[in-house]
Amino acid sequence: MITPRLDILIYAHDGRGLGHAGRSIGIGMALRRLCPYLKVLFVSGCRQSQQLIGPAPLDWLKLPAYETKVEDGKSRGITGRSMFEDKELGIFRTEELEYLVSLYRPRLVLVDHTPQGKHKELLKALSISRDIGTRWILGVRGVMGAVSQAGSDLAGNLFRQYYQGLLWYGDRRVLGESHLEGLRQQYGVEALECGYVSRLAELDFLRVDGPAQNEMPAGTVSVPWLGEKSLHFLEQLARGLANIPRDFGKWHLFVDTGDSPEVKKKVWKMFAGLTHCRLERPGVRYVDSLLCSKTAVIYGGYNSLMDVLYVGLPALVVERAMQDNEQQIHLQRLLARVGNRINTVSEADITGEQITSFLLENLSKNKKLPVAVNLNGAIEVAMILDRLLKEKS
């Protein structure tokens, strides 16, 4: 009897935001849509994975999740929901990933962000995979930023030892050549430019009836996780939305308040008197809301930016002060490409009056416009991985 094999295992880094998981899930969706004959499995500790996958026929395995805390713009690992410390989880997940690779014997593994995985948890899986004949591919976002793990000697050496391909989820017309050159220097190969990965584009393919037209919200607000200054921003946002005339429509706010009941109560209290605001945790209604909105308020992460660019919305983008500087670099390049469709503000310094002014300006545009940015990354990656498997079989 021939032992069955998994065709593609997609592994996503997790911890602070949803960027790594969201990109990887978007690619998994494209694979299931375009190559339904392939056996595909997504693996991550990201606890919001099911909400990100939505109705897509992508199956997944949940690892115990890392938890991080941001202090002075820098992330550090803390005890997670499983009550294991960061380093303890690294040990367990290393063993678990080794077992998964030995069990499913994937023909190809697509890894997001760093060759070693978070806390070097891919080392054992990499080591045993040679006997299995697994091909490893690394995919990286448009701007890596100052990520020490990605720029380390260990990352470069592991890539040269085990990986057979490097994919870049960016657009050189937006970001120029410097990031591709940085990847070439780090990993010793030319990265394949794939374009930006848009998970929302894949979800849109799954829609049958199109967006619901019975409620056209004024705007969608997305706060995927709370950082050091997020409560200040939300307080100012409530002040700003209080001054937006109700006849523009409702505001749908998708806010992950975390595990603290006190924080949740504080945030809900901020918006309790605003009858034109609907506050809820991030979930499946986000897609419908964004597709029907006139404007959006988002943080400057990769996935959120791709969402508003795909829909063509004028947006207010909130910048977090993070030491890796990835969002700031990325936004500067994007702004040069999309012009006044995006305004950026600092999470720590924004005022309610400024928010009102920006949102009224965006609402006056009230027109969705396509942008000259390549958002076909998920499709391109799916086609590349399918070709690689066919070449090897």
Query: Coil, helix or strand for 295?
Result: strand
Taking only the tens place, the pLDDT of each residue in 264-286 is 999 999 999 899 999 998 888 89
45 and 183 inside one domain: yes
Q: In the prediction, which pLDDT does 127 show?
A: 94
Q: Does residue 71 sit within a domain?
A: yes
Q: Does residue 3 sit within a domain?
A: no
Compute the average pLDDT of residues 19-36. Answer: 94
Q: Return mean pLDDT, the chain.
A: 88
Q: In the prediction, which pLDDT does 82 show?
A: 77
Q: In the prediction, which pLDDT does 276 show?
A: 95
Q: In the prediction, which pLDDT does 168 show?
A: 96
* CA 266/CA 75 separation, integer angstroms: 24
* CA 148/CA 178 separation, integer angstroms: 18
* % of the chain with per-residue pLDDT over 70: 90
Taking only the tens place, the pLDDT of each residue in 61-91 is 999 887 766 555 566 666 777 788 888 888 8
360 and 379 inside one domain: no
Tokens of 95: 């063993």
Query: Coil, helix or strand for 334?
Result: helix
User: CB 18: neighbour CB atoms within 10 A?
Assistant: 26
Q: In the prediction, which pLDDT does 38 show?
A: 97
127 and 259 inside one domain: no
Structural domain that includes position 165: 8-198+375-392
358 and 300 inside one domain: yes
Tell me: pLDDT of 263 over 70: yes
Q: In the prediction, which pLDDT does 228 show?
A: 83
Spatial contact of 8 and 106, defined as CB atoms under 8 Å apart: yes
Tell me: pLDDT of 174 over 80: yes
The angle, 0 to 180 degrees and rounded to 10, between the axes of the packed helices 285-292 and 302-311 is 50
Taking only the tens place, the pLDDT of each residue in 147-159 is 666 668 898 899 9
